[in-house]
């Protein structure tokens, strides 16, 4: 077992970023709720422990806490609320104060440990987001950094590997935050940077073989990155025991079916069955506008199609491969308790149908999106698959912002293809995390030639992001947007207006539904 960092999530919006920064340093990390028992944590054998920030106060009646003995299990780094908790448990004083949110200037007082490589009295920019602060460190602790508003912006125990920082080293707004995290990982914890795509593949192949034995396995391919990499990884592990089923739902992008069949049959030699179930999905979606109900119906129909296709192919399949990613299994809301793994209903196969006959194989459930791409490249998947923008499991159904019909899907599919083609022609595709079109549930008045029109509105969305957890809208050159808009209006029948979404995440989400 290699080095691994346990992150206890006290409710910070940045907790996943902590895990990402640790993984970027090639050290494995996992996020768990603070309700994990001390016995469980000891059995997990962490190389180091990070206590995240959070919105609570250590004085809240129901505020999440920790066993004091946690500080002796492994080296500990407390961030924001995590630092307050360390101080509170150890007998220091945490005081309320005015809310501080934004950039601050940090003065380094102890240029070693977490701040190894910094200079004494050096001033660096950091990101603060807090109300409470540590007013008096516990006995045995010393102050390692301060700011103009917080006299204890960093602290450490004099003899034990226990550290705390008031700022957030995990966010991009703390330019040298990566150095702080690396110092904790390598200088304090003695971790080894062995978390790589190749090491993951080798370990996961063994897990897959132990799980499925000699049983038959099916994988539902969507054409997206996640299901494609999951299929390639499982195929590497069990070869001809795997049969992939590509379902043409009628909710796919233009030419999706041709690309999947070409890649998986011709290039990878994987047993592939293609099922045209577009009528079945459109019937299931008839008259449905509510997004969650769309997801549920699509998910259940997927399972039905898988079962029927497997039966017709003569395969007595016991396992179903699903491309679940790590953000899908992290508990998203409750730092106070509850299960540590919840699966979003829209992920890949959608809502899992109660009583389905398959057991799940989820080889990517430990990975973030960019790690999945690295694994895909290591497995030899072509860049046209690995480098694709994310595409939701329910497909275009959740980009038609009303009830779903074949006519609406064809309109959206055509507009979306023109949009992506325009981005590629401008050589901007790889600069963008995700770009897509949506068909809005409104019509607008327009004029084409000498005729008044009353037609559809298409919305365009493009964002930049590191991992999809936060995102900024992409600032297209105006001439590129103008060309794309003109083509859509001229070439897509029934569209007379194009708008561009300039919302960031948060407060918006990337998808509209």
Please give the angle made by the CA atoms of 239, 222 and 311, to the nearest 5 degrees: 60
Phi/psi at 273 (5° precision) = -110, 130
d(CA 208, CA 212): 6
For 314, residues 6+ apart whose C-beta sits below 8 A from its C-beta are none
Query: What crossing angle do the helices spanning 291-312 and 278-285 adopt, rounded to 10°?
Result: 150
Radius of gyration of the chain, Cα coordinates, nearest whole angstrom: 25
Buried b (16+ CB within 10 A) or exposed e, 272-297: bbbbebbebbbebbeebeebeebbbb
Residue 163 vs residues 6, 8, 109, 147: alpha-carbon distances, Å: 15, 15, 14, 17
Cis-peptide into 130, omega within 30 deg: no
Of the candidates 196, 164, 170, 190, the residue with the CA atom closest to the CA atom of residue 5: 190
For 255, residues 6+ apart whose C-beta sits below 8 A from its C-beta are 417
* Token pair listed for 283: 């019937």
Q: Which residues are catalytic, by number?
A: 80, 168, 170
Burial class (CB in 10 A: 0-12, 13-18, 19+), 24: middle
Phi and psi based region of residue 150 (left: phi greater than 0; alpha: psi -120 to 50; beta: remaining): beta
Q: DSSP H helical segments within 239-321, as ranges? A: 256-261, 278-285, 291-312
Phi and psi based region of residue 449 (left: phi greater than 0; alpha: psi -120 to 50; beta: remaining): left
d(CA 154, CA 126): 12
d(CA 333, CA 402): 29
């Amino acid at each position: 077992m290699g080095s691994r960092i346990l992150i206890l999530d006290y409710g910070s919006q940045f907790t996943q970023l902590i895990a990402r920064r640790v993984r970027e340093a090639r050290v494995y990390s996992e996020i768990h709720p603070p309700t994990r028992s001390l016995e469980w944590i000891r059995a997990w054998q962490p190389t180091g422990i990070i206590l995240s920030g959070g919105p609570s106060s250590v004085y809240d009646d129901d505020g999440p806490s920790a066993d004091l003995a946690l500080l002796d299990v492994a080296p500990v780094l407390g961030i924001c609320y995590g630092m307050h908790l360390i101080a509170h448990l150890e007998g220091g004083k945490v005081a309320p104060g005015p809310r501080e949110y934004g950039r601050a200037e940090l003065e380094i007082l102890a240029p070693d440990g977490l701040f190894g490589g910094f200079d004494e009295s050096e001033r660096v920019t950091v990101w603060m987001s807090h109300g409470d602060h540590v007013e008096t460190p516990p006995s045995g602790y010393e102050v390692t950094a301060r700011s103009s508003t917080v006299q204890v912006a960093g602290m450490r125990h004099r003899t034990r590997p226990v550290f705390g920082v008031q700022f957030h080293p995990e966010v991009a707004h703390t330019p040298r935050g990566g150095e702080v995290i690396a110092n904790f990982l390598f200088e304090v914890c003695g971790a080894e940077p062995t978390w790589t795509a190749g090491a993951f593949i080798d370990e996961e192949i063994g897990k897959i073989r132990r799980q499925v034995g000699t049983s038959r396995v099916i994988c539902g391919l969507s054409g997206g990155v996640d299901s494609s990499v999951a299929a390639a990884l499982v195929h590497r592990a069990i070869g001809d025991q795997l049969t992939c089923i590509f379902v043409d739902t009628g909710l796919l992008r233009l030419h999706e079916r041709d690309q999947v069949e070409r890649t998986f049959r011709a290039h990878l030699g994987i047993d592939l069955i293609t099922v045209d179930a577009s009528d079945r999905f459109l019937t299931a979606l008839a008259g449905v506008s509510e997004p969650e109900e769309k997801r549920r119906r699509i998910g259940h129909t997927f399972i039905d199609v898988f079962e029927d296709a497997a039966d017709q192919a003569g395969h007595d399949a016991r396992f179903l491969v699903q491309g679940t990613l790590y953000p899908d299994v992290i508990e998203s809301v409750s730092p106070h308790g509850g299960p540590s793994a919840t699966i979003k209903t829209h992920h890949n196969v959608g809502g899992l149908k109660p009583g389905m006959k398959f057991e799940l194989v989820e080889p990517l459930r430990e990975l973030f999106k960019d790690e999945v791409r690295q694994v895909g490249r290591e497995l030899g998947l072509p860049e046209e698959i690995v480098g694709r923008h994310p595409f939701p499991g329910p497909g275009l159904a959740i980009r038609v912002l009303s009830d779903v019909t074949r006519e609406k899907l064809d309109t959206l599919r055509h507009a979306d293809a023109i949009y992506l083609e325009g981005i590629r022609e401008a050589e901007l595709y790889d600069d963008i995390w995700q770009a897509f079109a949506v068909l809005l549930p409104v019509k607008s008045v327009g004029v084409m030639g000498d005729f008044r029109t009353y037609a559809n509105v298409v919305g365009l969305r493009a964002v930049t992001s590191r991992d999809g957890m936060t995102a900024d809208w992409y600032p297209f050159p105006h001439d590129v947007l103008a060309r794309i808009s003109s083509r859509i209006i001229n070439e897509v029948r029934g569209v007379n207006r194009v708008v561009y979404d300039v919302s960031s995440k948060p407060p918006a989400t990337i998808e509209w539904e």
